[in-house]
Amino acid sequence: MANRKQRLTNYWGWFHIGFIILVCCYSTYHKYCRFYNVPENQAIKKTNMALFTGNVLTYYSRLSGTGAGYGFFAPQIKSTGLIIGDCDGNRIGARFKNFETMMRFNVMAGRVTDYLITKDDGSPITDSALKSKFYDLVFKSIAVKVYNQNQCSQDTLHMSYNIINFPTLRQYRAGRRSYQLITTKEVSIVKTAE
């Protein structure tokens, strides 16, 4: 009995590790193609889809946390996204009581601004028009929350989604010191009587 259990554990171990290696290989390849604008090999893409999408392995990957690669901040570090509101000439933003949630909000800001640039967020929404509507709702919801949170007395609020563009190391060495705030989207909300 103990031997059988050990054998089963062994089989599972090999399967589990093999599965992780395959997922990581594809993730690396996918990121490489995206980064260097190389079209993905259709055979590889189809094999990946057939192996890991819409079957029992999808559930396994979700449950075990092995469904994604581990290339954190790779192949490059993305620019920081920043959500800034303007109420009555005052710069306002989201308020948090804790660092962890503030950081999570920044992750969200980064992902939202990343969508504005690449239009690819890896979400299950495939219809681009629907996705655009979804993000429009997201932008407005954040603006309303920031407006209420800051007790903005003005009846309008302008919200912008920006990317902080620091000079690169090379540019810095060449003498450039100032950073730019590149606005990717602006939202205006107006408070109306109910």
Partner 1 sequence: MNARGFFHLSDQTPVNKLWLVFFRCSVSALIVLNFASMQADFNDIFSANSYIPPDINNVLRSHLLPSIYGVYRSLSPTFHLSYPTVLLTFRIVYPVALLSLFAGLFTRISAGIALLLQLVILNSMDLYCYGFDAFTTIALFYCVIFPVGAEFSLDNYVFKRSAKAAGNNQFLWVLRAHICIIYFFSGFEKLLGYNWRNGESIWKMVHGYNVLSFIDLDFLYKTPIFFIAGWGTIIVEMFYPLFINIPKTRKAWLIVTISFHVMIAFFMGLYFFSAMMIIFSVTTYYIPFNMRVPQLSNTPGPIPNTKELELTNAA
Which residues in this chain contact partner 1 in the complex, by CB under 8 A?
2, 5-6, 9-10, 12-13, 16-17, 20-21, 24, 27-28, 31-32, 35, 58-59, 62-66, 68-77, 79-80, 94, 96-105, 107-108, 111-112, 123-125, 134, 137-138, 141-142, 145-146, 164, 166, 168-170, 172-173, 179
Q: Which is nearer to partner 1, 38 or 89 (CB)?
A: 38
- Cβ atoms 116, 185 nearer than 8 A: yes
Q: How far is the CB of 184 from partner 1 (least distance, A)?
A: 15
Neighbouring residues of 179: CB distance < 8 A, sequence distance ≥ 6? 164, 165, 166, 167
- Cβ atoms 111, 135 nearer than 8 A: no
Q: How far apart are CA 149 and CA 97, in angstroms?
A: 12
Residue 10, CA distances (Å) to 5, 26, 60, 118 in order: 9, 25, 17, 43
Q: How far apart are CA 186 and CA 160, in angstroms?
A: 4
Cis peptide before 75 (omega within 30 of 0): yes
Q: How far is the CB of 185 from partner 1 (least distance, A)?
A: 15
Q: How far is the CB of 175 from partner 1 (least distance, A)?
A: 11
Q: Which is nearer to partner 1, 89 or 97 (CB)?
A: 97
Q: Which is nearer to partner 1, 54 or 89 (CB)?
A: 54
Q: Which is nearer to partner 1, 45 or 102 (CB)?
A: 102
Q: How far is the CB of 107 from partner 1 (least distance, A)?
A: 5
Structure tokens at 8: 């089963």
Structure tokens at 130: 């629907």
Q: How far is the CB of 77 from partner 1 (least distance, A)?
A: 5
Q: Which is nearer to partner 1, 12 or 186 (CB)?
A: 12
